[in-house]
Structure 1
Amino acid sequence: MNFKKYILPLAIAAVGLSSCDSMFREEPFDKLPGTVIWGDEHLLDEYVLPWYHEMDPGFYTFVTTIMKGLGSEYEPWYGDQLTVGRSDWYQGDYGNILKSSQQDITTRARTEWFKFYTQINSINTLLMNESQLAPSVRDRVVGEAHFFRAWYYYLMLRNFGGTMILTRTYDPLMEDTKFPRATYAEMVEFICNEAEEAAKLLPVSHTDANIGRPTKGVCYMLRAKTYFWAAGEHFQNQEKGWLGFPDDQSMQMLDLAAKEYDRVIATGQYSLIPINGTTRDEVVEEYRNIFLTKNSQESIWEVQHANDGNFSSANGHKLDRDASASSFGGTVAAYNPTQNHVDEYRMDNGMMITDKASGYDKKNPYEGRDWRFYANVLYDGAQWRGHTMDIHYTVVDGKEVAGEDLTKYGTSTSAAVTRTGYYMAKFLNERQVIDTDETYGSSQNCILWRFAELLLDYAEIDFKKGRIGDALDKVNQIRRRVKMPELKSVTWDDIVNERRVELAFEKTTYWDLLRWNIAEKRMTGSTNPLYGVKIVEQADGTRKITNPVVNGRNTVVRYFRPRQYYLPLDWDDVRYHGLEQNPEWVEM
């Protein structure tokens, strides 16, 4: 089986367990008995596929899924680097979550809760039958089971805080055991112990046929990311043990994270992809290719999407179509970079645009910027697929006429163009065919962790631990790669800025806002409205550039309330197990 090529929709029942509602909901058991599955190498592969398929939606972000609140949201949509183009999306679940709707967030949380515990139950079932597994793959499958049990509890920790730790299958109709909420410390310990058990069984690397499965390095990275998350400011000095630590454990957590990052590096499997070009255009092309190259030396863990883009029967996606401008047939405009994000790119001399000596020109705002800007963002005048992006208005007979890339494509009343004056370029394939075929889409993998992120995580640790020189070196490794001038010294703001630029639109940028305890400010419209750009070319050829609010005060309301650092636990399990609900959530 070519593991990385297809995710097969095969429903397999392992054992005849019964269950109640919520996380113990009954699954169909009319396919294959466990006695057949455990001893068959190929059936075992089919059995574990849902662990992979549900671990992260990757670029599979169908809007219909989002609007139904099924938990496949692309996290950066809720931060401040991206927004969406279609106004009707703001009237559904996506918009309601932006508005901090308790009902819609509770629906999303329940979906995630059920999804995570469904996979945990599947993993526990397999581990309870470990002795029956086919000997030829036993170590690898058991290693994967421990890894994914750690992975799903890591997702639980980030979303809910401490939850119930289940290490066996459980039938509440046959026993009346009640499970308590674990503390943050217990969750961190369990996740890291599980990842360590996995690392003992998994190889340093896989053959081509098994590319995409976890390795020792991925296990060490999971341990590192768990400690790194737990070091977050919001999770220190918490009164309730399942919301964080009773004291400040941040420095200890950072030390533990650093040791795990060292282990990842020591595997010798990961490094930055070098860029050989020296001109801006050469660097831009090579930098974009980093995100089009599957399972590269820089990638540590990524969602495997179908190589042929098959969307209906495999794990393809429609990222290029969803992000495409109208001139290429796009009707969704799902990924609009904000002016907030564009302003994060410094000048190509390393200075911030607010520095008077930087050379920044408000009349020519896209000249002389950090070269990653040109790789990540399509702006008015940018080149894409042999086309000059036309994202401005022209005054004709006293009226503003929208440019080609501001004009809706087709006759659909729901068709959209960018709300911000920008389109996303990062992750996209200029050679991708964009048509109306609903069977085939895009094929690029979604990278969840890469070596550049490891370096930036470690730079943050070094800085907080007082190792300023080490932090500077790691930041400059990344800057050198894209031929940007090295920093001579480094501040906290430098590290944050480098992270926001290098990891632009990647999922970690959303979680950083929670980890840094600044989500209320950055994801609330009254304190951080999202801006776009409007460029109007006058009859005399001059241009007027303004930055209207597109998602904030007087347009789409955005809120992030303190309670959203933790999603609400499923109310069925709160009642059944007698759990204390996360703060400020009430049953709807």
Structure 2
Amino acid sequence: MKKLYTYIIGALLSLSVTGCNSLFDDAPMNQISEKDVWTNSMLLDEYVNTWYRNMNNGFNNFIFTSSGFGSMSRYFLPWLGDQITISKKDWLNSGYSDMLKGNEKTLTDYAENLWTNDYTQIQYINAFFENSNRISDATLRERINGEAHFFRAYYYYMLWRSFGGVPLIDHTIDPLKNAERTPRASYTEMLDFIVKEADEAARILPVTQSSSEAGRVTRGAALMLKAKAYLWAASEVYQDNSKSYLGFTDNQRQNMLEKAKAAYEDLFALNAYELIPITATTQDGIKNEYRQIFLTKNSQESILEVQHSDDGDYANKFGHRLDRYAAPPSLTGTYCAYTPTHNHVLEYGMRDGAAYDANHPYDNLDYRFYANILYDGSVYKGQTLNMHTTDGVAGTDLQPYGTSTTAGYTLTGYYMGKFVDETQTIDNNDTYASKQNYIIWRLAEAKLDYAEVLFNLGYTEEARAQVNDIRQRVHMDALPTITIDQILNERRVELAFEESTYWDMFRLGTVYQKRNGSTNPLKKITITVTKGTTKYQVSNIDRRASANYVFQLKQYYLPIPWSEVKYQQFDQNPDWNEI
């Protein structure tokens, strides 16, 4: 881990300070001693905040403007799936495009950034455990102890999903004093460690946090992490593997499903979460209330979410620019970074027994369609969106905004409605941009996870009940029977554009099919009105349909940094080459 250690040495002096006070004025960060960290509550809060800030950047993500990543190590994972894409054309010539094409150097650089970020946080956490006895405030020490166990489990879970078995390190390492080596852990060892840490976090953490501590991890978050780990391990993809660090060497599927079932039941037994009800009965009313779920911070449904700044300050705090990035051109949007594909639109079923009408393709769909998707003729911010061409003249939402030569407009025929805030001001001052929290886990996802587990264990009726809870919340018809395909489609509708839909492709073994343009080209819809006659035409998004949309089997696991492979003297993940 020689290269990793160069990032970690001096970690105690690299805390992220976001405010000013006399302590920081009197003691410059490069002069703060390790002792100061463990004896000062403000410094400790800054220390712990790095665990939260690095777990996920939420909506504060970047599109890469050139090949390579530099310091930009995060992106919005659904961009790499088949439900959503970006439409700003110069971004399709960027490092982001290299990710889509499976460029080996770009993926290697990206993997190194992930590896370094996660292990740096693990090193911080290990340092806390070794110094926690210096914290005199017992209540504060116990609170951080619970958070530390949760985040050590969380960061190893993140590494596990991306790399398979990795070195399990539960203490700080200084290569200048002790150049130790650590082998890759097996799948069983990874899972056992993650579960043990999650269990310890659940033992310590409170069921709920006070309003002043909103956003801190809870017992429910720890139990959800444990359940997620078992759900991941239950995948057929990871059974009967020849390499113990890439999966189980025998078949543990049934065992993992049983343990996942118990973990989700422990989560539900807390009685800490409820689905946010929707009381409206009209299409517009249901749309508006469902959309509001994703604008409500730390709601009764939320299990864990990234806390973005309430004032939306993008330049100085932890706001973001989702609304600016998502807005149609007619509403001053310039980036077009969140444009749903027609592939995803086809996942919404009909309601109330209606039949699909090709001449009116947006009538009588699942109510969540109207909340999640902005389409031709929909109303947003009081404006009817025009995404069709009339007698050769492109509508206002098929044209770039203003005079910017790099401004975009939808390449798919849709814009995103989910997550966006109609009340958000979008103007030339992007210092104050958007403030929505980014939800990592919520009760609806836990119930759909549980439904899948139940179905695979043979509890068909119980699985159907869980799915119908989700459907009936949005006034959709209850399913009289259930299949695994219906459960998985319900996931893709309810969890649309959330990162779970991306990781589901890996867990379910569908990523090779869904992430390749040759087998699943991304689709768009073109609407033309000629002499009063409307025509709807579905076709491929040209630049993303095949050559620029490639997934290789080796991408199931990212490459471990080569410096790490050489130093530790263990195997690289299959089929990766040193560059």
- Judged with a 3 Å threshold, the aligned counterparts in structure 2 of structure 1 residues 424 and 553 are, in CA distance, closer, same or farther, namely closer
Alignment of 1:505 with 2:505, yes or no, is: no
- Judged with a 3 Å threshold, the aligned counterparts in structure 2 of structure 1 residues 447 and 65 are, in CA distance, closer, same or farther, namely farther
Alignment of 1:359 with 2:362, yes or no, is: no
What is the match of residue 511 of structure 2? 519
Alignment of 1:316 with 2:312, yes or no, is: no
CA distance in 1, matches of 2:550, 2:246: 21
Q: CA-atom RMSD, angstroms?
A: 1.4
C-alpha displacement of 1:230: 1.1
Equivalent in 341, 346, 350 of residue 349 of structure 2: 346
CA distance in 1, matches of 2:66, 2:473: 36
Alignment of 1:47 with 2:43, yes or no, is: no
What is the match of residue 188 of structure 1? 191
Partner amino acid, structure 2, of 1:409? Y
1:78-107 per-position Cα deviation (integer Å, ceiling 9, x unaligned): 110001101221211110110111110001
Alignment of 1:535 with 2:527, yes or no, is: yes
C-alpha displacement of 1:133: 1.5
Secondary structure at 1:145 match in 2: helix
What is the match of residue 483 of structure 1? 475
Say whether the 8 Å CA contact 2:518–2:545 is kept in structure 1: no
Q: Which moved more, 1:512-521 or 1:552-561?
A: 552-561
1:482-503 per-position Cα deviation (integer Å, ceiling 9, x unaligned): 0011010001111111111111
CA distance in 2, matches of 1:52, 1:174: 30
Secondary structure at 1:533 match in 2: strand
Secondary structure at 1:547 match in 2: strand
What is the match of residue 131 of structure 1? 133
What is the match of residue 32 of structure 2? 32
Equivalent in 553, 557, 571 of residue 566 of structure 1: 557
What is the match of residue 407 of structure 1? 399
Alignment length, in residue pairs?
558
Alignment of 1:393 with 2:392, yes or no, is: no
- Judged with a 3 Å threshold, the aligned counterparts in structure 2 of structure 1 residues 65 and 511 are, in CA distance, closer, same or farther, namely farther
The within-5 A match list for 1:39-78 is: 39-64=39-64, 68-69=68-69, 70-78=72-80
Secondary structure at 2:206 match in 1: coil
C-alpha displacement of 1:125: 0.7
CA distance in 2, matches of 1:32, 1:106: 35
- Judged with a 3 Å threshold, the aligned counterparts in structure 2 of structure 1 residues 521 and 64 are, in CA distance, closer, same or farther, namely closer
Secondary structure at 1:587 match in 2: coil
- Unpaired runs of 5+ residues, structure 2, are 14-29
The within-5 A match list for 1:164-175 is: 164-175=167-178
What is the match of residue 81 of structure 1? 83
Say whether the 8 Å CA contact 2:64–2:95 is kept in structure 1: no
Q: Which moved more, 1:522-531 or 1:233-242?
A: 233-242
Q: Which moved more, 1:498-507 or 1:28-37?
A: 28-37
Say whether the 8 Å CA contact 2:451–2:487 is kept in structure 1: yes
Say whether the 8 Å CA contact 1:80–1:523 is kept in structure 2: yes
1:37-85 per-position Cα deviation (integer Å, ceiling 9, x unaligned): 2122222111111110000011111324896533211111111000110
Equivalent in 411, 423, 429 of residue 419 of structure 1: 411
TM-score normalised by the chain length of structure 2? 0.94
Say whether the 8 Å CA contact 2:375–2:385 is kept in structure 1: yes
Say whether the 8 Å CA contact 1:574–1:580 is kept in structure 2: yes
Partner amino acid, structure 2, of 1:407? Q
Equivalent in 114, 138, 143 of residue 140 of structure 1: 143
C-alpha displacement of 1:141: 0.6
Equivalent in 228, 253, 258 of residue 255 of structure 1: 258
Q: Which moved more, 1:480-489 or 1:544-553?
A: 544-553
C-alpha displacement of 1:226: 0.7
Q: Which moved more, 1:508-517 or 1:65-74?
A: 65-74
CA distance in 1, matches of 2:10, 2:561: 18
Alignment of 1:467 with 2:456, yes or no, is: no
Say whether the 8 Å CA contact 1:85–1:336 is kept in structure 2: yes
Percent identity reads 46
The within-5 A match list for 1:215-234 is: 215-234=218-237
Say whether the 8 Å CA contact 1:419–1:550 is kept in structure 2: yes
1:84-136 per-position Cα deviation (integer Å, ceiling 9, x unaligned): 10122121111011011111000100000000011111111111001112323
CA distance in 2, matches of 1:66, 1:305: 27
1:6-35 per-position Cα deviation (integer Å, ceiling 9, x unaligned): xxxxxxxxxxxxx94235423464242121
Q: Which moved more, 1:472-481 or 1:549-558?
A: 549-558
CA distance in 1, matches of 2:146, 2:545: 52
Say whether the 8 Å CA contact 2:64–2:94 is kept in structure 1: no
CA distance in 1, matches of 2:366, 2:73: 35
- Judged with a 3 Å threshold, the aligned counterparts in structure 2 of structure 1 residues 158 and 555 are, in CA distance, closer, same or farther, namely closer
What is the match of residue 238 of structure 1? 241
- Judged with a 3 Å threshold, the aligned counterparts in structure 2 of structure 1 residues 556 and 320 are, in CA distance, closer, same or farther, namely farther
- Unpaired runs of 5+ residues, structure 1, are 1-18, 351-357
CA distance in 1, matches of 2:198, 2:65: 31
Say whether the 8 Å CA contact 2:521–2:545 is kept in structure 1: no
CA distance in 1, matches of 2:109, 2:556: 16
CA distance in 2, matches of 1:205, 1:319: 29
What is the match of residue 376 of structure 1? 372
C-alpha displacement of 1:480: 0.6
Partner amino acid, structure 2, of 1:498? E
CA distance in 2, matches of 1:457, 1:67: 36
Equivalent in 110, 113, 123 of residue 111 of structure 1: 113
CA distance in 2, matches of 1:220, 1:359: 42
1:394-418 per-position Cα deviation (integer Å, ceiling 9, x unaligned): 11xxxx2110001101222111001
What is the match of residue 302 of structure 1? 305
- Judged with a 3 Å threshold, the aligned counterparts in structure 2 of structure 1 residues 63 and 34 are, in CA distance, closer, same or farther, namely same
Say whether the 8 Å CA contact 1:348–1:369 is kept in structure 2: yes
C-alpha displacement of 1:265: 0.8
Say whether the 8 Å CA contact 1:530–1:549 is kept in structure 2: yes
Partner amino acid, structure 1, of 2:574? P
Q: Which moved more, 1:135-144 or 1:318-327?
A: 135-144
**Superposition misfits of 4+ residues, deviation over 6 angstroms:** none
CA distance in 1, matches of 2:542, 2:136: 54
